[in-house]
A and B are shown apart, each in its own frame.
Chain A
Amino acid sequence: MTAALRFDPIRLPEKCEQLRKEVRAFLAEEIAAGTFDPHKPNREDTDAPEFSRRVGAKGWLGMTWPKKYGGQERSFLERYVVTEEMRVANAPTRRFFVADRQSGPVLLKYAPEHIKMDILPRICRGEICFAIGMSEPNSGSDLFAAKTRATKTDGGYLINGTKIWTSSAHIADYMIAIFRTSPPTKENRRHGLTQFLVKMKQPGIKVNPIGQITGQYEFNEVVFTDHFIPDDHVLGEVDGAWKQATSELAYERSGPERFLETYYVLTELVRAVGPNPDTRSAEGIGRLVAQLHTMRRMSVSVAGMLQAGKEPVVEASIVKDIGTVWEQQLPHRVRDLAAFVEETATNRETLEHQLDFAIKTAPKLTIQGGTTEVLRGIIARGLGLR
């Protein structure tokens, strides 16, 4: 018996390369038109509704979903290519990304048909934005300590309590959230949570902004006071959200977004050192590229596993652990190497601005979407240690 995890060397099929060209051409046009500046990661990009619609019009949202819901029935590998090209170009994806990656797949699996028919096509058209309501003030890593209550009432539920760190809640049209529908049992402390589809901008929901150390505003506190949710907005099994929430995380944890968030500083470093680097810079760049290449090969491999219908929970956790630790260290390694860049490098100022922002961004990378410690717990379970 071997405990080792295998990441088969999946190659992207030819049609992915055609698609990649299309995405690059599209992004080049958007950049030329001034939609966004790929060298400026530190902009407020939560509100790029027109860009979202244009991405939707290209058929690049909900790509893997059934056609009857507006999807394209394309492969996870094709979706992978679109995601990584958007990331590398620093495109403003925040408005549509959560719905595309996570919320849509949850609805596909658990929502009643009329809700799927209503919402999924709008996600595909890039018209709506989703938020994820898992964390609470006293429940982050320990998801099952969530307290926000959903109390049964006529035709639905009344919600009371607070969600926190909710990315994009201030612009979101919907949130998929977990609420407590009954207390945990002695045998199973995970019991009693239910997943709901929440329509935002309704009575009983207040969104309070929370500033981040980057100087940006992306996440929020969301307070529910007797907010009503109708019965047909329950997603999946009442009291059984714990089974659902864990499989959702495989999608959240292995994609290219899990090692490309600070990638822009590496490109800029290569630009700054120029075509004839000294040995130290060359070695530094070489190592970073080798590490990046390895992670990407692992991440592509996980996309292949998803395509094959597997649930690569442990593999995805490994990619997120290694990937986020890497993207967290990257700005600091680039800073080390940038210390030796000529004062005359034409992009010096851009590099410095980028480093400033990337260094401020870095601390969150190993927290969002599940902390390093939690991921290592999942991997340890996969190794049979718990």
Chain B
Amino acid sequence: MAESDNIVVETAEKIFADLADPQTINNDKKNSWQAPLWQALSDAGLPLSWVPDDLGGSGASLADGFALLNAAGRFAVAVPLAETMLAGWLLAQAKIASPAGEMTVLPASPKDRITLDADGALSGRARGVPFAKAAKHFAVLAHGKDGISIALIDAAKARIEAGLNVGYDHSDTVTLDKVQPVTLKPAPKGFDQTTLMLMGGVARSLQIAGALESMLDISVRYSNERVAFEKKISKFQAVQHNLARLAGESAAALAAATSAADAIANAKAFDNEVYLEAASAKIRCAEAAEKGGGIAHQVHGAIGFTMEHILHRYSLRALAWRDDFGSESHWAVELGKLVASRGADELWPLVASR
């Protein structure tokens, strides 16, 4: 796997290798792998990586947390690790302590709004909330009369309509009807819903990039095993060129995602430059998921189209992750508007600022 000298990533990779082997998971129709995996991740403090010690977390750096998400993407793990990390991070912005157990964040789409009523209750609807069904608590960003607030709420108080995304993971609609939060605090100055969407988008970008790395690996391996016309298919130039393109898409996704993660980890604020990085990562990784995933399936022929084969664990999740925290078309419109409003002569200075 990745040449990592990062203890957080090493710990996670060991847990994934032991408890989240894609083939074992794929064969286990009862999902009995989920509880032990979550337990091991929790014991290692990984879901609360981005929560400082004094708020109940393990206080890893932003950079380590991002690397962890990339590793999770390489295993395409379907437990709410990214979601709980994001929730803990959001709560920590307002110095709210994180409870134990699964969490997720809402809203998960830039289109949805949760409002804070005058009496301190939360109302609104959030669609496409990943793993809402599995979560014990929600970290919520809400718009009130006096600005933006961050709240911790008990998931049992929300109405949840279960749904599945393209990758067969829970992606639910959460309705809050005057829900009283466990804790509610104002968000720090400058923190808004866009900040949350950018952070969520970068998390998803790293997961997509990780899934593409694995798609490349298993496609290369498969092409060296499968024989057709009395040759390994890896010896056909057309197949080689497809794999070279897949390598390019995988490399582009990883470059965009790690660059954005590095930008956030080192930034003082979510300024225009971070916006360029984070929005670009989500756009480019989503494009790579489409192109790269298509090639991975092509190389695998029919076998990759079966439920028995592990390819779909990566390809469908990568496609599904495109939709969370703003799709690529959402971010493209927003980034395009930003560039246009700054004017033609500011385009290159913006790109070159990174």
Q: Which residues of A contact B (CB under 8 A)?
A: 1-9, 11, 20, 84-85, 88, 266-268, 270-271, 273-277, 279, 281-287, 289-298, 301, 315, 318, 321-322, 373, 375-377, 379-380, 382-386
Contact = CB atoms under 8 A, between A and B. Distances in A.
Contacts of B345: 267
Interface stretch (B24-32, B45-53, B110-118, B273-281): B273-281
A298 B339 contact: no
Interface in B225-252: 234-235, 237, 239-241, 243-245, 247-248, 250-252
Interface of B: 1-2, 74, 212-213, 216-217, 220, 223-224, 234-235, 237, 239-241, 243-245, 247-248, 250-252, 254-256, 258-259, 261-263, 276-277, 279-281, 283-284, 287, 328-329, 331-337, 339-341, 343-345, 347-348, 351-352, 354
Contact of B340 (A285, A295, A296, A383): A285
Given A2-B217, A385-B234, A283 B276 contact: no
Contact of B250 (A5, A9, A88, A297): A5
A7 B256 CA distance: 9
6 contacts: A6-B254, A277-B336, A290-B332, A379-B248, A380-B244, A383-B247
A289 B239 CA distance: 30
Contacts of A289: 276, 280, 335-336, 339, 347, 351
Contacts of B240: 376-377, 380, 383, 385-386
Contact of B279 (A267, A282, A290, A375): A290
A315 B244 CA distance: 11
Contacts, number: 196
Given A285-B335, A291-B284, 18 more contacts: A2-B213, A5-B250, A274-B340, A282-B333, A283-B336, A286-B336, A287-B287, A290-B331, A293-B256, A293-B280, A293-B354, A294-B252, A383-B216, A383-B243, A385-B235, A385-B239, A385-B243, A386-B234
Closest 9 CB pairs of A and B: A286-B332, A282-B336, A286-B336, A380-B240, A271-B344, A286-B335, A379-B244, A290-B283, A376-B244
A242 B180 CA distance: 73
Nearest to B346: A270
A286 B339 contact: yes
A82 to B, nearest CB: 12
Given A2-B217, A4-B216, A385-B220, A88 B348 contact: yes
B216 A3 contact: yes
Interface of A is mostly: helix
Given A290-B280, A318-B247, A321-B248, A282 B348 contact: no
Contact of A293 (B1, B216, B276, B332): B276
Contacts of B254: 4-7
B340 A282 contact: yes
A35 B27 CA distance: 69
B262 A9 contact: yes
Contacts of A322: 248, 252
A171 to B, nearest CB: 29
B315 to A, nearest CB: 16
A317 B333 CA distance: 31
A286 B332 CA distance: 4
Given A283-B332, A289-B339, A297-B255, A267 B247 contact: no
A294 B280 contact: yes
Given A297-B256, A380-B244, A7 B251 contact: yes
B244 A284 contact: no
A273 B279 CA distance: 21
A9 B259 contact: yes
A379 B336 contact: no
B351 A4 contact: no
Contact of B252 (A3, A275, A295, A382): A295
A266 to B, nearest CB: 7
A270 B252 contact: no
Contacts of B247: 3-5, 318, 379, 382-383
Interface centre among A88, A297, A380 (most CB of B within 10 A): A297
Contacts of A318: 247-248, 251
B220 A384 contact: yes
A276 B219 CA distance: 44
A298 B216 contact: no
A291 B280 CA distance: 7
Contacts of B250: 4-5
Nearest to A372: B241
Nearest to B223: A385
A380 B259 CA distance: 25
A88 B261 CA distance: 27
Given A281-B336, A293-B280, A270 B347 contact: yes
Contacts of B283: 286-287, 290-291
Contact of A298 (B251, B262, B281, B335): B251
A383 B224 CA distance: 11
> Chain B CB within 10 Å — which of A11, A268, A287 has the most?
A287
B352 A20 contact: yes
Contacts of A285: 332, 335-336, 339-340
Q: Which of B240, B254, B255, B328 has the most CB of A within 10 A?
A: B255
Contacts of A382: 247
Nearest to B286: A290
A292 B220 contact: no
A294 B336 contact: no
A362 to B, nearest CB: 19
B203 to A, nearest CB: 16
Contacts of A266: 347
Contact of A286 (B234, B239, B331): B331
A297 B281 CA distance: 11
Given A270-B343, A289-B351, A283 B248 contact: no
Contacts of B217: 1-4
Contacts of B224: 384-385
A315 B254 CA distance: 13
Contacts of B241: 373, 376-377, 380
Contacts of B343: 270-271, 275
A279 B335 CA distance: 11
A376 to B, nearest CB: 4
